[in-house]
A and B are shown apart, each in its own frame.
Chain A
Amino acid sequence: MLTDFFILMKQELVITVIIFILLLLKIGTDMSNESFINLTNGLLLLNLVAGFVGSQSGTLFDGMFLTNPLIVLEKNILSLGTLIVSLQSADWLKRHDHVSEFYILLLCTLLGMFFMISAGNLLMFYVGLELSSIPMAAMANFDLAKKKSSEAAMKFIISSAFASGLLLFGISLVYGATGTLSFSELSLQITGAPLQIFAFVLLLAGFAFKISVVPFHLWTADVYEGAPVAVTSWLSVISKGSVLFVFVAVLNSVFRSLTDTWYNMLFVLSVLTILIGNLFAIRQNNFKRFLAFSSIAQIGFILVGITGSPNYAITSVVYFVLVYVFSNLAAFGVVALVSAVTGREQVSDYKGFYKTNPVLSWVLTIALFSLAGVPPTAGFFGKFFLLLSGAGKGNYVLIVIAALNMIISFYYYLRIVKAIFMDANEQPIEKLSIPAYPRLAMIICVAGIIVTGLAGYLYDYIYALTYRL
């Protein structure tokens, strides 16, 4: 029993231990920032490796906590993303006074996500969700000197609280209607009565808020712009990824009997999200805001994938999140570096970027190509599988709208590539040296973009895992 406990919760336990180590170091020693960062990155790498050792299916605490190879894989993807974000922010953190606090908050949110993914009960899910969002608000405030950063944190915590309140309301309605909160029992109890649908809408809004689905997305751009780049990339990739994993799983397990209803809801929401995300992304001049809105559009595409039949939906979402981790973090990595050194964040600043920084230009270009879904990159396969999954239900209107919007998104992604390579600039961004950690992160991302796209068996592997649920 005890060994079960250790094996099934290994990833949560490792994170917890790391958090304690960092806390003790913070209190007990007077470590320099640099060695603290080195140590933490080492521990995160260890955490990633540990995640791949052995994976079992099972439940703990009377069904509160459950795990299986797919969930382990999802957590590993998040661990990988965490490592990349940590490597990328090393340079920024080095000059910061509160390195240890940043890492502790970061790992607390990660721990929350892990519990959320493994939840077998709505309460457990809620606790995990809160654990993953409250420290995030503190992280958003981490550019202590900047007013915008505080504003971002305030906006985030208020809208978060609002979303959580409605989510809790939804959970209590579910309990009122069915008398249980356990996923396995709920899936039998939910029949589609109006009260249940209303409760479901509230839950859906909670999810939609976290992954920025229109019209629950409005906080996104402001928070992304104000928060430090490291936090923005964390929010847009890791946080969204974790909620997506839960979302697609919950839809297909707990609310399976409501499939017809949520299918239509997602249809409406995905069309809205893609359209609005694209329309806003076209106009943005701030690179971070641009990435925020383009990531909203990406979520719309993911919703298209979620509408598919369960196995395909889960597979394509997990695969896409993996691809998205690499692509988006590669883009954010370059933006973070440029913003940290020069403070320039406008898209127009990137004109003539290739002349001064050819390597960074290529990294950014590959990332943008992958985000846009240009064929040899992983992003193409990611989108392809999402649309394929969505097409499985035979709703071609949705697929056509999505495909048309892919073309619009080509426009705004390639607009930046054009600026990088072709436009002339009087004052281009000066030549930047790439420190070791961010360089490593970029190599991982670019390699990931290429390898994930070419290694077709990855998709098959995930697909096989969905059958063992």
Chain B
Amino acid sequence: MNYTTYIALIPLLPLAGFVLLGLFGQRHFTRSAGILGTLILLIATLLALYTAYQYFIVTGAVNGAYAAIEPFKYAWLEFSPGMSIDMGILLDPASVMMLVVVTVVSLMVHVFSLGYMKGEERFATYYAFLGLFTFSMLGLVLSTNIFQIYIFWELVGVSSFLLIGFYYDRPAAVAAAKKAFIVTRFADLGFLIGILILAFNSGTLDFGILIQRLTDTQSLQWMQITGTGFLGVSILSWALALVFIGGAGKSAMFPLHIWLPDAMEGPTPVSALIHAATMVVAGVYLVARLYPVYLIEGTILQLITWIGAISAFLAAIIACTQTDIKRVLAYSTISQIGYMLFALGVPAYGDASNTGYTASLFHLFTHAFFKSLLFLGAGSVIHFVHTNEMANMGGLRKLMPLTHFTFLIACMAIAGIPPFAGFFSKEEILLTAWENNKLIYYGALVTSGLTAFYMFRLYFSIFWNKTAPPNHHTDHHGEGNWSMKLPLLILALAAVGVGFIPFAHYVSINGSGSPILIPISFSIPPVLIALVGIGLAYILYYRENDRPQRLATALGGLHKTIKQKFYFDELYLFVTKKIIFNGIAKPAAWIDKHLVDGTMNGLGWVTTRVSVSIKAWQSGRIQSYTLYFFGGIIALAALFIYWWK
């Protein structure tokens, strides 16, 4: 099958959109920018869906496995034979799946923003940034080369920075953009060092060759990278751990999660796209890309398991106490990504089978749809009531019927109620955990109860609780126009439907998956726990009452600690402001000011002085020029014939 003719268009079209709208948008397409950007992305999405159809259905599995194809690859910078930074496209089940997720969710966000961002002053710029992000994200998932992924990884970070800080006149947005950029950039440092170690030891940057060399225990590279160690841990482990730090930063895992809740300062559709469905799962995708290498290094996978599980649990607890609806969703995102990561890691405790890989990517897939639906629904609500605070909402079900209905579907999906999509993927994750590590399983079970609780707390608080506010500026703009409703409907359909895709058949670590069979009896406890969570939420939040307040008072300090997000931000502030600024930055600044600047100024002064004093050389008299010329020859000859032989 020949993909080469059009495959490159998928990432390049959004890039073209970015260039077009970025250069001319504000001047020439003030109104049509949205339509233009959306149309461009629609073409890209159709091409992506066609590619997926070609890849999975038409070409299909050969000998029971889906082949990895590289439709094109271009050696961009070649350091030495075999060691080059390539720009290429890699199609394998995981990347094709991501291709569909990114384009579809991005398209939905493009359409939704037509209504949501209408009348914004920098409307065209917004669409230009969306195009840049989509391009970068597509480049990331299609990378053939670990350095290519790094380049796009940073580009994704930049476009996320631009979009979080889109309302650059709000100090909070600017601070959040900065925070997101700095925290993820800090983590990326680990990623870069990890890449360099892997590349140095395996002699290649290409994913395929790298995996092949580092998983073959007979190969020279494998012996080298596992044979040497640092601080008692093999170099391979260090490299993988460092790469994972990069992933954990992007995926907002504890303790690098602090940027994600603040990132909610960006426009809500952006949160749906970047901070729910696509960019934040890049860390999961990265681990999945290098999964064969991770599999042979069990300790790192165990580390990943625990980081994932702890993130899932802590974020779920924090989500229960937040009152800003976008922050609730942000913590829920952290929690769900935690699920994906421990699903990847947990097989290291048991049979190291590939069910974890499939389950994790399946959850990534379903989560993308229902979480972006939740965010877009939240966007719709915020658009309607002009606030993010739960306390100012309530009773909106009559006023926003469609939003209410789709939001409910998404809540059921994330809570894991059959037959919605989240149920299927979560069951697979739980089954993997059950088979490999019981402790993780029970933790996940509790977390899934918490998930159901906080999601329905959100749901009841928005749509029920109080009676509808009297005449709450409803007359002029209702629920929003078609462009805001259509994406909700489509994503709701997806949140119901995608769970029935035989995912394991398509995406698995060795390309030939057998479906993961879940016994019905296994599903009973999780569903029950979820129902308990929903019941609790119903009791506390269905009608306006003082029970939540009483509960909060009863829990006292504990509630406050959780509500303050376990004081993570304060801890970081303490470390940066008090320790780093005072202990390191101030002395460094002093040295910089007095020693470095002093030396530099001194050097500059000397340079200028010398420069003035040799002015006489350049006298303009040709006699002296020839004299210097001849002197140069004599000096060189004398120096090299007699002295420096």
**Chain A interface residues toward B at CB < 8 A:** 154-155, 158-159, 162-163, 166, 194, 197-198, 201-202, 204-205, 208-209, 215-216, 218-219, 221-222, 261, 264-265, 268, 276, 279-280, 282-283, 408, 456-457, 460
Q: How far is the CA of A421 from the CA of B69 in the complex (A)?
A: 49
Report whether A218 and B618 are in contact in the complex, using a CB–CB cutoff of 8 Å.
yes
Report whether A218 and B640 are in contact in the complex, using a CB–CB cutoff of 8 Å.
no
Report whether B640 and A460 are in contact in the complex, using a CB–CB cutoff of 8 Å.
no
Does B632 interact with chain A (Cβ within 8 Å)? Answer: yes
Report whether A222 and B640 are in contact in the complex, using a CB–CB cutoff of 8 Å.
no
> Known: A215-B629, A279-B610, A456-B75. Contact between A198 and B637, CB under 8 A?
yes
Report whether B625 and A201 are in contact in the complex, using a CB–CB cutoff of 8 Å.
no
Does B611 interact with chain A (Cβ within 8 Å)? Answer: yes
Q: How far is the CA of A198 from the CA of B618 in the complex (A)?
A: 27
With a cutoff of 8 Å between Cβ atoms, the chain A residues found around residue B633 in the complex are 166, 201-202, 205
> Known: A276-B614, A279-B610. Contact between A159 and B637, CB under 8 A?
no
Closest to B639 in A: A268
Report whether A215 and B631 are in contact in the complex, using a CB–CB cutoff of 8 Å.
yes
With a cutoff of 8 Å between Cβ atoms, the chain B residues found around residue A216 in the complex are 628-629, 632
Q: How far is the CA of A268 from the CA of B629 in the complex (A)?
A: 15
| Of the residues B618, B632, B645, contact of A205 by C-beta under 8 Å | B632
| Of the residues A162, A198, A204, contact of B641 by C-beta under 8 Å | A198
Report whether B636 and A163 are in contact in the complex, using a CB–CB cutoff of 8 Å.
no
Among B615, B630, B632, max chain A CB count under 10 A is at B632
With a cutoff of 8 Å between Cβ atoms, the chain B residues found around residue A261 in the complex are 640, 645
Report whether B637 and A283 are in contact in the complex, using a CB–CB cutoff of 8 Å.
no
Pairs A–B under 8 Å by Cβ, sample size 22: A158-B622, A159-B629, A166-B629, A166-B633, A197-B641, A198-B641, A201-B633, A205-B633, A208-B632, A215-B628, A215-B632, A218-B625, A218-B629, A222-B618, A261-B645, A268-B636, A279-B614, A282-B607, A283-B608, A283-B615, A456-B78, A460-B78
Known: A198-B637, A268-B639, A456-B77; 7 extra A-B contacts, CB below 8 A, are: A205-B632, A215-B632, A264-B640, A279-B607, A279-B611, A408-B607, A457-B75
Report whether B608 and A218 are in contact in the complex, using a CB–CB cutoff of 8 Å.
no
With a cutoff of 8 Å between Cβ atoms, the chain B residues found around residue A208 in the complex are 632
Among A166, A218, A280, max chain B CB count under 10 A is at A218
Report whether A201 and B636 are in contact in the complex, using a CB–CB cutoff of 8 Å.
yes
With a cutoff of 8 Å between Cβ atoms, the chain B residues found around residue A457 in the complex are 75, 78
With a cutoff of 8 Å between Cβ atoms, the chain A residues found around residue B626 in the complex are 158-159, 162
With a cutoff of 8 Å between Cβ atoms, the chain B residues found around residue A198 in the complex are 637, 641
Q: How far is the CA of A221 from the CA of B618 in the complex (A)?
A: 8
Whole-angstrom distance from the CB of B238 to the nearest CB of chain A?
A: 27
Report whether A159 and B636 are in contact in the complex, using a CB–CB cutoff of 8 Å.
no
Total A-B residue contacts, Cβ distance less than 8 Å: 82
Q: How far is the CA of A143 from the CA of B620 in the complex (A)?
A: 19
Q: Which of B112-146 contact A (CB under 8 A)?
A: none
Report whether A282 and B640 are in contact in the complex, using a CB–CB cutoff of 8 Å.
no
| Of the residues A205, A280, A456, contact of B629 by C-beta under 8 Å | A205
Report whether B640 and A197 are in contact in the complex, using a CB–CB cutoff of 8 Å.
yes
Does B617 interact with chain A (Cβ within 8 Å)? Answer: yes
B interface size (C-beta, 8 A):
31
Whole-angstrom distance from the CB of B28 to the nearest CB of chain A?
A: 19
Closest to B614 in A: A279
| Of the residues A159, A166, A282, contact of B622 by C-beta under 8 Å | A159
> Known: A219-B622, A283-B611. Contact between A163 and B629, CB under 8 A?
yes
With a cutoff of 8 Å between Cβ atoms, the chain A residues found around residue B639 in the complex are 268
Closest to B625 in A: A218
Among B614, B615, B624, B626, max chain A CB count under 10 A is at B626
Whole-angstrom distance from the CB of A156 to the nearest CB of chain B?
A: 10
Does B76 interact with chain A (Cβ within 8 Å)? Answer: yes
Does B612 interact with chain A (Cβ within 8 Å)? Answer: yes
Q: How far is the CA of A194 from the CA of B344 in the complex (A)?
A: 72
Main secondary structure of the interface of A (DSSP, over half): helix
**Chain B interface residues toward A at CB < 8 A:** 75-78, 607-608, 610-612, 614-615, 617-618, 620, 622, 624-626, 628-633, 636-637, 639-641, 644-645
With a cutoff of 8 Å between Cβ atoms, the chain B residues found around residue A265 in the complex are 636, 640
Q: How far is the CA of A261 from the CA of B636 in the complex (A)?
A: 11
Whole-angstrom distance from the CB of A187 to the nearest CB of chain B?
A: 19
Closest to B629 in A: A216
Q: How far is the CA of A163 from the CA of B624 in the complex (A)?
A: 14
Report whether A194 and B641 are in contact in the complex, using a CB–CB cutoff of 8 Å.
yes
Q: How far is the CA of A422 from the CA of B611 in the complex (A)?
A: 26
Report whether B612 and A283 are in contact in the complex, using a CB–CB cutoff of 8 Å.
yes
With a cutoff of 8 Å between Cβ atoms, the chain B residues found around residue A197 in the complex are 637, 640-641
Q: How far is the CA of A197 from the CA of B617 in the complex (A)?
A: 28
Q: How far is the CA of A27 from the CA of B562 in the complex (A)?
A: 95
Closest to A214 in B: B632
Whole-angstrom distance from the CB of B23 to the nearest CB of chain A?
A: 14
Q: How far is the CA of A222 from the CA of B614 in the complex (A)?
A: 16
Report whether A282 and B625 are in contact in the complex, using a CB–CB cutoff of 8 Å.
no
Report whether A282 and B641 are in contact in the complex, using a CB–CB cutoff of 8 Å.
no
Whole-angstrom distance from the CB of A395 to the nearest CB of chain B?
A: 14
With a cutoff of 8 Å between Cβ atoms, the chain B residues found around residue A218 in the complex are 617-618, 624-625, 628-629
| Of the residues B78, B615, B622, B637, contact of A155 by C-beta under 8 Å | B622
Closest to B600 in A: A407
Report whether B629 and A209 are in contact in the complex, using a CB–CB cutoff of 8 Å.
yes
Closest to B615 in A: A283
Q: How far is the CA of A197 from the CA of B615 in the complex (A)?
A: 32
Q: How far is the CA of A215 from the CA of B607 in the complex (A)?
A: 19
Closest to B631 in A: A215
Q: How far is the CA of A187 from the CA of B580 in the complex (A)?
A: 62
With a cutoff of 8 Å between Cβ atoms, the chain B residues found around residue A408 in the complex are 607
Report whether A282 and B608 are in contact in the complex, using a CB–CB cutoff of 8 Å.
yes
Whole-angstrom distance from the CB of A464 to the nearest CB of chain B?
A: 11
Whole-angstrom distance from the CB of B601 to the nearest CB of chain A?
A: 13
With a cutoff of 8 Å between Cβ atoms, the chain A residues found around residue B622 in the complex are 154-155, 158-159, 219
Among B607, B610, B640, max chain A CB count under 10 A is at B640
Q: How far is the CA of A194 from the CA of B633 in the complex (A)?
A: 14
With a cutoff of 8 Å between Cβ atoms, the chain A residues found around residue B78 in the complex are 456-457, 460
Closest to A155 in B: B622
Q: How far is the CA of A355 from the CA of B460 in the complex (A)?
A: 59
Whole-angstrom distance from the CB of B562 to the nearest CB of chain A?
A: 46
With a cutoff of 8 Å between Cβ atoms, the chain B residues found around residue A202 in the complex are 633
Q: How far is the CA of A279 from the CA of B606 in the complex (A)?
A: 10
With a cutoff of 8 Å between Cβ atoms, the chain B residues found around residue A264 in the complex are 640, 644
Closest to B604 in A: A411
Q: How far is the CA of A154 from the CA of B621 in the complex (A)?
A: 11
Closest to A225 in B: B620
| Of the residues B76, B610, B625, B632, contact of A456 by C-beta under 8 Å | B76
Q: How far is the CA of A456 from the CA of B76 in the complex (A)?
A: 6
With a cutoff of 8 Å between Cβ atoms, the chain A residues found around residue B629 in the complex are 159, 162-163, 166, 205, 209, 215-216, 218
Report whether A280 and B632 are in contact in the complex, using a CB–CB cutoff of 8 Å.
no
Report whether A222 and B641 are in contact in the complex, using a CB–CB cutoff of 8 Å.
no
Whole-angstrom distance from the CB of A323 to the nearest CB of chain B?
A: 16
Whole-angstrom distance from the CB of B610 to the nearest CB of chain A?
A: 6
Closest to A222 in B: B620
Q: How far is the CA of A221 from the CA of B615 in the complex (A)?
A: 12
Q: How far is the CA of A163 from the CA of B611 in the complex (A)?
A: 27
Among A163, A201, A268, max chain B CB count under 10 A is at A201
Report whether A159 and B611 are in contact in the complex, using a CB–CB cutoff of 8 Å.
no
> Known: A282-B611, A283-B612. Contact between A219 and B644, CB under 8 A?
no
Whole-angstrom distance from the CB of B637 to the nearest CB of chain A?
A: 5
Closest to B611 in A: A279
Q: How far is the CA of A218 from the CA of B621 in the complex (A)?
A: 10
Whole-angstrom distance from the CB of B274 to the nearest CB of chain A?
A: 26
Whole-angstrom distance from the CB of A218 to the nearest CB of chain B?
A: 4
Q: How far is the CA of A356 from the CA of B645 in the complex (A)?
A: 58
Whole-angstrom distance from the CB of B431 to the nearest CB of chain A?
A: 48
With a cutoff of 8 Å between Cβ atoms, the chain B residues found around residue A209 in the complex are 629
Whole-angstrom distance from the CB of A450 to the nearest CB of chain B?
A: 14
Q: How far is the CA of A208 from the CA of B632 in the complex (A)?
A: 10
With a cutoff of 8 Å between Cβ atoms, the chain A residues found around residue B75 in the complex are 456-457
Q: How far is the CA of A283 from the CA of B607 in the complex (A)?
A: 10
Closest to B628 in A: A215
